[in-house]
């Protein structure tokens, strides 16, 4: 029986961390399907899905083995590892079309992301990707790739966000993803529109 796992690794950053994690998974017969790695606050963070053709000793036993082997590979890097089996229905869930880009700028204050995400949740908006950069404290920037549910218009949501966020000194922009892709990517517009 094949099985896919989501592996999250947090560790001190140094050259070679990706090599050591991928080596540990390869040695176990794993095949990397999707890898997202970044540095947040100077800390190495990696999320990956990895599939195994066979988990003969059981799903939980394989989960433990992955955890153990990755921890061992990064022993000197103060690692934290979380491994979770991915159900078939979760795997088949694709990123939806009709995505919008939300950008909120303004001075950095505690609770800001909570406030924004609360408004989005109240409208049933799903956040598919999120970044928050407060290195410039006066112009902290939240950017989210969000999916609007049926029945919620861009203008309606943008107005709601502005109503709540303007008093906090925050500027809000909600635009369809295609406008950003059109102005920044090279390629036929027809491809963006699926023509």
Partner 1 sequence: MLETSEISSTIRMIHEEHLDMRTVTMGINLNSCVDSSFAKTCDCVYDRICRCAGRLVEAADRTGARYGVEIVNKRISISPASILLEGEGRTVDDAVALANALDRAAESVGVNLLGGFTALVQKGMTRGEALLIDSLPAVLSATKRVCASVNVATTKAGINADAVMRVARKVVETAKASIADRGFGAAKLVVFANQPEDNPFMAGALLGPGEAECVINVGVSGPGVVKRAIDRLKKRVGHPRLDQIAEEAKHTAYRVTRVGELIGHEVAAALGVPFGVVDLALAPTPAVGDSVGEIYQSMGLERIGAPGTTAAVMIINDAVKKGGSFASVSVGGLSGAFIPVMEDHALSQAVTEGSLTLEKLEAMTAVCSVGLDMILLPGDTTAETIAGIILDEAAIGVVNRKTTAVRVIPVPGAKVGDEIDFGGLFGGGTVTAPKCPGGNETFVTAGGRIPAPINSLTN
Q: Which residues bind partner 1 (CB under 8 A)?
A: 101, 103, 129, 131, 133, 141, 143, 145, 153-155, 158, 171, 173-184, 188-190, 192-193, 195
Distance of CA 185 to the CA centre of its chain: 21
Minimum Å distance from CB 28 to partner 1?
30
Minimum Å distance from CB 106 to partner 1?
13
Q: Rank residues 63 and 112 by Cβ distance to partner 1 and give the closer one.
A: 112
- Please choose, from the candidates 37, 28, 24, the residue with its C-alpha nearest in 3D space to the C-alpha of residue 71: 24
Give the three-class secondary structure for 46: strand
Q: Rank residues 51 and 123 by Cβ distance to partner 1 and give the closer one.
A: 123
Beta strands in 13-117 (DSSP E): 30-40, 43-52, 80-85, 99-106
The end-to-end CA distance of the chain, in Å, is 40
Minimum Å distance from CB 4 to partner 1?
23
Minimum Å distance from CB 178 to partner 1?
6
């Amino acid at each position: 029986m094949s099985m896919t796992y989501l592996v999250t690794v947090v560790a001190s950053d140094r050259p070679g961390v990706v090599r050591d994690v991928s080596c540990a998974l390869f040695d176990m017969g794993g095949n990397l399907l999707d890898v997202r790695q970044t540095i947040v606050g100077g800390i190495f963070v990696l999320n990956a899905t990895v599939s195994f053709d066979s988990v003969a000793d059981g799903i939980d036993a394989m989960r433990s083995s992955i955890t153990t082997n990755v921890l061992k590979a990064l022993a000197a890097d103060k690692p934290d590892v979380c491994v979770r089996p991915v159900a078939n229905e979760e795997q088949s869930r694709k990123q939806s079309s009709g995505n919008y880009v939300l950008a909120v700028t303004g001075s950095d204050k505690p609770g800001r992301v909570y406030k924004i995400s609360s408004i989005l949740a109240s409208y049933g908006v799903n956040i598919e990707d999120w970044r928050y950069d407060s290195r410039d404290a006066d112009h902290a920037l939240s950017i989210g790739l969000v999916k609007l549910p049926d029945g919620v218009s861009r203008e309606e949501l943008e107005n709601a966000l502005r109503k709540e966020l303007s008093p906090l000194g925050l500027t809000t922009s909600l635009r369809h993803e295609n406008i950003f892709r059109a102005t920044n990517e090279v390629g036929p517009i027809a491809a963006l529109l699926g023509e």
